[in-house]
Amino acid sequence: MTLRKHFAGFAVTALAAAIPAVAMADVSIYGRAHVSVDFLDDGADYSETNLSSNSSRLGFKGDHEINPNLTAFFQIEQQIDFGTDNGSSFNTRDTFVGLKGGFGSARMGRFDSPFKAARGPANLFGDQVGDMRNLTRVGNARFDERYDNTLEYTTPDMNGFFAKLGYSVQEGTVNEDDTDESVISGSLNYAGDALEAALAYESADEDTGRGERDGIRAAAAFKVTDGFKLVGFYQTVDYTNPAVTQAVQDALTSDTYGLGGELKVGSATALKAMWMTRDADADNFDSDMLAVGIEHKLDKSVRVYANYAMVDNDENVALTPWSQARTANPAGTAGEDATGFSVGLRYDF
């Protein structure tokens, strides 16, 4: 009993000593709980109701002012899958450390490439059924990556304009051969009152394991009125890989583009719609996607929504409107139309 009392006293003393240290560290805890109930139909044999966790996350971030012109910052972020028991490491999402000041900012770690971030203005259904990545992130030619071992520089804001340049020294592997596994990614961005836009380029060397990929991406959102926003998107990807057939290279070389809009029908309610198409170099390998939805914000932290999305596939392709950023991701069937209806709850904290 005496030993227990001593241990309890030591634990309380240690906790009391640690609390001020944590408070002085300027560290904040944040996250997102995003879960939906979905009815998914691949147009063939699969037609089921699912519970899906959609890029739910938990993170820690903070900064420390070294002097008035220089601040150090960090972030550690982990994916949390509600409803499943998926084991993973503690840095599956954006995790980095860096410095910022009048020169802009520089960071190192694992995080979204500038090319990936450039889709932000136009992605009305991010992490939901109907996410544009279901058409832009296909096979080994995919972009929208969070690369390991990355360095990135962001310029200061210049009247709404800023640029990002990222360089990944390796694509998550240690290569003992004298080969280049680098990825370079950059973007020019603008954020104003009515217009938000991005233009990006990314190139991955042939030895990165998935073949050589080059892509250009443009995305924009324009507020026509306070209650109505139009969005547009375009991406072209060229894929070269001597290890696969020309037919596979043609199937993964594509142009993807689309238009959408968001209309506020109340102070906290919005209607959304997006049409997209993916035009591959290969014959009978194209897909179209249509997504419509309604979203209502209960307050600034909590929202509910209902979406319907459909992908119309050519005979040689099996894309779905639900495969990205979600735990419920059954495969599609080539040549069949895949449809999904989703009712979701998202809580940001």
Q: What is the mean pLDDT of residues 196-223?
A: 91
Using one digit for the tens of pLDDT, what is the confidence trace for 118-177? 999 999 999 999 999 999 999 988 888 898 899 999 999 999 999 999 999 865 455 555
Q: 9 pLDDT exceeds 60?
A: no
Domain spanning 41-348 has what CATH number? 2.40.160.10
Dump pLDDT digits (tens) for 272-319: 999 999 999 999 999 999 999 999 999 999 999 999 999 999 999 999
User: Six-digit token pair at 309?
Assistant: 């999305």
Q: What three-state secondary structure class fits 248? A: helix
Structure confidence by residue, pLDDT tens digits, 44-64: 999 999 999 999 999 999 999
Give me the pLDDT at residue 25, please: 57
If one counts every other C-beta atom within 10 angstroms of the C-beta of residue 33, the result is 17
| Rounded Cα distance, 204 and 171, in Å | 9
d(CA 310, CA 292): 9
Please choose, from the candidates 275, 279, 286, 291, the residue with its C-alpha nearest in 3D space to the C-alpha of residue 318. Answer: 286
pLDDT of residue 89: 59
Q: Say whether pLDDT at 72 is over 60.
A: yes
Distance between CA 115 and CA 142 in Å, rounded?
11
Determine the Cα–Cα distance for residues 193 and 92; give it in Å rounded to an integer: 33
Q: How far apart are CA 277 and CA 216, in angstroms?
A: 16
pLDDT higher than 60, residue 6 = no
**Closest to 291 measured CA to CA, from 303, 307, 269, 271:** 307
Name the one residue in this structure whose structure tokens are 């009712």. 343
Model pLDDT, residue 207 = 65
Q: Measure the CA–CA gap between 239 and 242, rounded to whole angstroms.
A: 10
pLDDT for the residue numbered 231: 98
More confident residue, 34 or 90: 34
For tokens 């069937």, the residue is 333
The Cα diameter of the chain in Å comes to 79
Backbone angles phi, psi at 126, to 5 degrees: -60, 130
> Domain ranges in the chain?
41-348
Check if the beta carbon of residue 155 is closer than 8 Å to that of residue 176: no
Q: Judge contact between 146 and 116, C-beta under 8 A.
A: yes
Q: Are 252 and 243 in contact (CB under 8 A)?
A: no
Residue 1 banded pLDDT, cuts 50, 70, 90: very low
Residue 332 scores a pLDDT above 80: yes
